[in-house]
Amino acid sequence: MITQFVKTLCKRAFRAVCGFVFCVSLLTPCAAAEPQHKHNPTVTRLLKKYCFDCHDVATADGEREFETFSLPIKTQQQLITADGIIDQVTLRKMPPEESDQPTDKERLALIGALRDGIQEARSQFESTGSRTIMRRLSNREYENTLATLFDRRVDTLGLTADFPREETSQHMDNIGESLVTSGFLLDQYFQAASRLVETRLGKQEMKPKSWHFKDNFKQYEELSGPHRSVFKYKYLCLYEQPNTDTRQGGYGHIEDFLAGVPASGLYDIEVQAQALHRDTHYDPKIFRIDFSEPFQLAVVPGDVTKGHIHYPQAIEPILASTVVPDDKPEWLKFRVWLDAGQTPRFIFPNGPYESRASVISLNKRYKDEFKKPVAGVSRTTLLREGKLPHIRISEIKIRGPIPEPDGSKEEVAVFGKAGFQQDHALEQLFAFAKKAYRRPLSEADQRRIKTLYERRLSEQATPRQAALDTLKMILCSPSFLYLSEITPEDERELHPYDLASRLSYALWTAPPDAELLATAASGRLKKKEELQKQIRRLLKDSRSDEFVNGFLDSWLNLRAIGDQPPPRRAAWEYYAQNLPESMKQEARLFFRSLLDEDGSVEKFLDADYTFVDKKLAHLYQLPEKDKLRLKDGFQRVKLSGTKRRGGLLGMAGVLTVSANGVDTSPVTRGVYVLENLLGSPPPPPPDEVPAIDPDVSGAKTIRERLAKHSQDQTCFVCHRNIDPHGHALESFDPIGRWREKYPHPKGKGSGPKVDPTGKLPSGETFKDFEDFKHVLLENRLDQFTHCLIEKLLTYSTGRQMERADQYEIEDILKRVKTENYGLQSIMLEVMTSRIFRSR
């Protein structure tokens, strides 16, 4: 348990850091306001002509006064005033109907001028002076850092499960301004550090124990009666995959092992199991399962104190999996890590979908095969007489914790191969703190560590416990939780240790390794050639997959897949085949291939290949759907035979996250393309403009309704830019399946035909999805590359790019064009840029 003394020390340190950050924010320079704004004459003239009769200083009708308003905008109140004027003029609520009305040209001029003024003002108000605010680790970085420091996965502990939900900034989860620290979060850090240290290092040494379970396999409530009647609880049976609504047999637990393992450690689990009735004569469409694939069995942790043991829980990573034999029961072996109190649960990842519905269909359709058929949900009859496909477990053996020959990974990672040494405790703590802080320790660091360790000894703690309590303080220190602390505030270029941390967290989401720290210590890291060498080394390491995953979640917002899932009946395969994970993996492997090969980023806009597994091959209706097996995983496939895929916009992940689950909208997808791929987000709509109903209604298509909506010139200005980018993607439904027609609004047959044609504001036209990609490739490649460079810089520095950064971004773009737009070349340019190497 962390002492009050530890908390007091950590809170004082946090107050000092927060005060420092506040002072820095006050000192951050803002761009000087122009003495005269280029749009001000237009704004002043139009407001005077149409608004001053009611809204001058003397009248101020409705408490709105525009006479003193001018550009540039200098205050938040002026910003609010400008927004209000735009809303009223756009909606034609002002001037009043009985007053003189501005022409469409005047309306557009006023709205355009005010929008430009607002954009400039927001850039100034939100500016950090092109400096990265000293930021804390994101939850993702925090867990990955702990896993690196302790040399063991920590996701089984769910350390951040109760942390406040993190805010993102333009989908980025590592932006300093958004990563706030509260008193509640500080308490959560204390609890997480205490739990991790005590669970992994404070556990009592114990000899391995053995457990053997052969009966009393009780299951989900609705299964209990049939299993008692037919099997007398002799078998633990799995009837469906976990990703369903009914969860009947989705999670198999051990009723006599609910208390879980007594100590954290490695455990050997043996399961006698058999796949039953994979050769069933029942119609496979009832189960929505591919019976050509062997059944799979996997182990996940469960905790009765965290929720219903039969239902999904917040912490249940797959610990191990294997294929289950058909012919006869066989012993299957797993070695898994379980934390104290966790009990193993068994799942059927590729099992039938919605077991209850399957049972109802079987009882109805095959009733003549049963001696005593029963209508409805009669699992008893099927278990006794039928051929219901499932996995049957008859025995389970557990043994552990299994000793690790050289000591536990955590012990070695924290204290070294010799383990904790009382005579060298402070040296061991200093060595760990140096890794945790990602830099050499200062005298103040050493003094704090020594003070706490000795204080705990004086409180009669054992030397080991005193060391563990000191570890907790190290893990709650601002030097651990925050990045960039050495470089003086009055210097812009990062010192080597700060640069090493920025590089390692950008590419590994983890602390620098020994080689990178040694390079920083020598000072060589500040040389461009050495920095490039280290970038290449880090990118070649498998740990750079963390960068690929994290960046794509941010750039393409792939982490939002699943936030608005489709209806289960309309897109059952989305759930039954766990498509979200496959969708993300396609984008990751595609990005990885370009990165490794230094492939041109033009392939993001169009490519003749992609990466698919069996599930995506079916979703895309590719020839490989009949060849691939689940065990083949993802394969690179040619797309020469189809015009429906290729590039990011043909990927189901991008198409799903740019829809809302239920339907699609050219506006939503158009905004997605402009924001994430072209870097030109449209201005937000006026607050009072109602949303346009998506998809189709009756005989009218979304295109017809958008055309009607855009008849007003003030709406047309934005929609002519947004909508074409979305119309091209209307050939894809909400989960990325190709479609020629919309669904019928009443769910019967097909609706209107999809029209994917369009014309961009710059004049280019396209007739379909493939043509649209060619237009982007021919005319928007530089714009796309500029956006990608900006997103990479934002992700890697932890701050949004500002106007002052655009000059260097343009310089980077010019250089990478000579390198054939290679993705690895772009990475090298980004991470050796002045922006990346500066505070």
Helices 545-555 and 496-507 pack at an angle, to 10 degrees, of: 70
Residue 641 lies in a domain: yes
CB-count burial class (<10 Å; 0-12, 13-18, 19+) for 370 = middle
Residue 548 lies in a domain: no
**Whether residue 435 sits in one domain with residue 383:** no
Pairing of strands 635-638, 609-612: antiparallel
Q: What is the DSSP string of 644-679?
A: S--SGGGSHHHHHHTS-SS---HHHHHHHIIIIISS
Residue 587's pLDDT is 98
**Residue 691 vs residues 115, 661, 668: alpha-carbon distances, Å:** 21, 17, 11
> Which residues, 6 or more positions from 65, have their beta carbon under 8 angstroms from its beta carbon?
55, 56, 57
Compute the distance between CA of residue 354 and CA of residue 296 in angstroms, rounded to an integer.
17
**Whether residue 707 sits in one domain with residue 593:** yes
CA angle centred on 832, ends 827 and 837, rounded to 5°: 125
Residue 699's pLDDT is 37
Contact, 662 vs 567, CB < 8 A? yes
Residue 519 lies in a domain: no
Cross-strand bridge partners of residue 697: 700
Q: 3-state secondary structure string, 62-93?
A: HHCCCCCCCCCCCCHHHHHHHHHHHHHHHCCC
Q: Using the 3D structure, point to which of 440, 461, 485 is the last residue of a domain.
A: 485
**Residue 128 vs residues 171, 713, 735: alpha-carbon distances, Å:** 19, 36, 39
Compute the distance between CA of residue 620 and CA of residue 605 in angstroms, rounded to an integer.
18
Residue 467's pLDDT is 97
Contact, 34 vs 72, CB < 8 A? yes
Residue 620's pLDDT is 96
Positive or negative: CA dihedral 694, 699, 700, 701: positive
Q: Which phi and psi angles does 697 have, rounded to 5°?
A: -145, 120
Nearest by Cα to 204 from 265, 269, 266: 265
| Residue matched to tokens 């095969």 | 369
Compute the distance between CA of residue 443 and CA of residue 430 in angstroms, rounded to an integer.
11
**Whether residue 119 sits in one domain with residue 13:** no
Which residue numbers in the chain have pLDDT < 50?
A: 1-2, 16-35, 693-699
Pairing of strands 296-302, 343-347: antiparallel
Q: Which two tokens stand for residue 212?
A: 């053997």
Residue 176's pLDDT is 87
Residue 249 lies in a domain: yes
**Whether residue 792 sits in one domain with residue 768:** no
> Which residues, 6 or more positions from 589, have their beta carbon under 8 angstroms from its beta carbon?
611, 634, 636
Compute the distance between CA of residue 336 and CA of residue 260 in angstroms, rounded to an integer.
13
Q: Which two tokens stand for residue 816?
A: 């990478």
**Whether residue 393 sits in one domain with residue 298:** yes
Residue 518 lies in a domain: no
**Whether residue 583 sits in one domain with residue 730:** yes
Residue 204's pLDDT is 81
For the chain, percent of residues with pLDDT exceeding 90 = 59
**Whether residue 258 sits in one domain with residue 214:** yes
Residue 708's pLDDT is 57
Residue 116's pLDDT is 79
Q: Which residue segment(s) compose the domain that 116 sits in?
A: 40-125
Q: What is the DSSP string of 581-592?
A: HHHHHHHHHHHH
Compute the distance between CA of residue 289 and CA of residue 282 in angstroms, rounded to an integer.
12
Compute the distance between CA of residue 669 and CA of residue 724 in angstroms, rounded to an integer.
10
Q: How many other CB atoms sit within 10 Å of the CB of residue 678?
A: 15
Helices of type H across 178-337: 183-200, 221-231, 284-287
Contact, 516 vs 500, CB < 8 A? yes
| Residue matched to tokens 């002076």 | 129
Compute the distance between CA of residue 581 and CA of residue 138 in angstroms, rounded to an integer.
22
pLDDT digits (tens, 9 = 90+) for 79-123: 778 777 876 777 666 777 777 888 878 877 878 788 877 777 766
Q: Which two tokens stand for residue 658?
A: 């740019």
What's the gap between Cα 249 and its chain centre? 29
Q: Using the 3D structure, point to which of 109, 125, 141 is the last residue of a domain.
A: 125
Residue 520 lies in a domain: no
Query: Length of the chain in residues, anyone?
Result: 839
Q: Which two tokens stand for residue 601?
A: 């980023």
Residue 99 lies in a domain: yes
**Whether residue 749 sits in one domain with residue 653:** yes
- Preceding amide of 95 cis, omega within 30: yes
Q: What is the DSSP letter of 527?
A: S
Cross-strand bridge partners of residue 387: none
Q: Using the 3D structure, point to which of 740, 761, 779 is the last residue of a domain.
A: 779
Specify the CATH number for the domain of residue 321: 2.60.120.260
**Whether residue 793 sits in one domain with residue 659:** no
Q: At 16, which helix (H) or strand (E)?
A: helix 4-27
Compute the distance between CA of residue 176 and CA of residue 435 in angstroms, rounded to an integer.
22
Compute the distance between CA of residue 239 and CA of residue 226 in angstroms, rounded to an integer.
13
CB-count burial class (<10 Å; 0-12, 13-18, 19+) for 544 = buried
**Whether residue 132 sits in one domain with residue 48:** no
CA angle centred on 756, ends 753 and 762, rounded to 5°: 150
Residue 553 lies in a domain: no
Query: SS3 of 330, please?
Result: strand
How many Å is the Cα radius of gyration of the chain? 31
Q: Which two tokens stand for residue 104?
A: 């469409």
**Whether residue 805 sits in one domain with residue 689:** no
- Preceding amide of 401 cis, omega within 30: yes
Cross-strand bridge partners of residue 347: 298
Compute the distance between CA of residue 358 and CA of residue 375 in angstroms, rounded to an integer.
13
CB-count burial class (<10 Å; 0-12, 13-18, 19+) for 200 = buried
Compute the distance between CA of residue 787 and CA of residue 764 in angstroms, rounded to an integer.
21
Q: Count how many domains the chain has.
A: 5
**Residue 436 vs residues 147, 464, 734, 765: alpha-carbon distances, Å:** 12, 19, 44, 55
Q: Which two tokens stand for residue 477?
A: 């220190």
Q: Which two tokens stand for residue 361?
A: 């269909």
Contact, 611 vs 637, CB < 8 A? yes
**Whether residue 442 sits in one domain with residue 418:** yes
Q: pTM for this structure?
A: 0.84
